[in-house]
Amino acid sequence: MKAHIVPALSMTFAMFMLLVVIYPLLVWGAALVAPAQGRGETVEFNGRVVGFAKVGQKFTNDAYFWSRPSAVDYNAAGSGGSNKGPSNPEYLAQVQARIDTFLVHNPSVKKADIPAELVTASGSGLDPHLSPQAAYVQVARIANLRHLSENQLKTLIQQHTDAPLFGLFGPKKVNILALNIALDKMK
């Protein structure tokens, strides 16, 4: 019996030290050298914090680019998808309601031209990016409300479009918070 208890207690103590002391200290140390010391990168505009660089924000005002819908109402503490499949009637009704709302606010857009990301939530529910196409489809509405030319807005989108990682991995994307701040700076 003694031959089994001593190794078990030794292994328990070793795992405790590794998982409760050493690993958390390593993660904490890595956070200290990360941008913003692991507290998240805040975005400031006119001297006040308006959001986080890597977390989606809710924009519903017609004078701004709308962001991707969130299954968790943009709550970073509870990120997650809806876990509803594409054949779920409740999910389909929710997507249809988003399509209808988008068409009411963007009458010049045809249903077939709405990118899927404008009516479906991301897997985390917190995606801060849209494709350039999802931004371009909103240009007519914003140009009309802000009395800007569509070309000005398209140029603004191009300036805020991030290329794929190393030019190869992932799609082009636009951070909507950064784009809307640039939009406000145009005044």
Kindly state whether residues 116 and 70 are assigned to the same domain.
yes
Q: What is the mean pLDDT of residues 26-42?
A: 82
Helix locations, 2-146, DSSP H: 2-16, 23-33, 89-105, 132-136, 139-146
**Ordered DSSP codes for 83-100:** ---TT-HHHHHHHHHHHH
Confidence of residue 157 (pLDDT cuts 50, 70, 90): very high
Please check whether residues 87 and 109 belong to one and the same domain.
yes
The pLDDT tens digits for 55-101 are: 778 888 999 999 998 888 777 777 777 778 888 899 999 999 999 99
- What are the pLDDT digits (tens) for 91-144? 999 999 999 999 999 999 999 999 999 999 887 778 889 999 999 999 999 999
Q: Are residues 17 and 46 in the same domain?
A: no
Rg (CA), the chain: 23
Q: What is the DSSP letter of 68?
A: -
Whether residues 130 and 170 fall in one domain: yes
Same domain, 26 and 112: no
Same-domain status, 51 and 23: no
Q: What is the overall mean pLDDT for the chain?
A: 88
| Claim to verify: residue 145 and residue 173 sit in the same structural domain | yes
Query: Which of the pair, 15 or 187, is modelled with greater confidence?
Result: 15
Buried b (16+ CB within 10 A) or exposed e, 139-156: bebbbeebebeeeebeeb
- If one counts the domains in the chain, the total is 2
Number of alpha helices (DSSP H) and beta strands (DSSP E) in the chain: 7, 5
Do 69 and 21 belong to one domain?
no
Q: Which domain holds residue 8?
A: 1-39
Pair 29, 47 in one domain: no
pLDDT of residue 80: 74
Count of C-beta atoms within a 10 Å radius of residue 54: 16
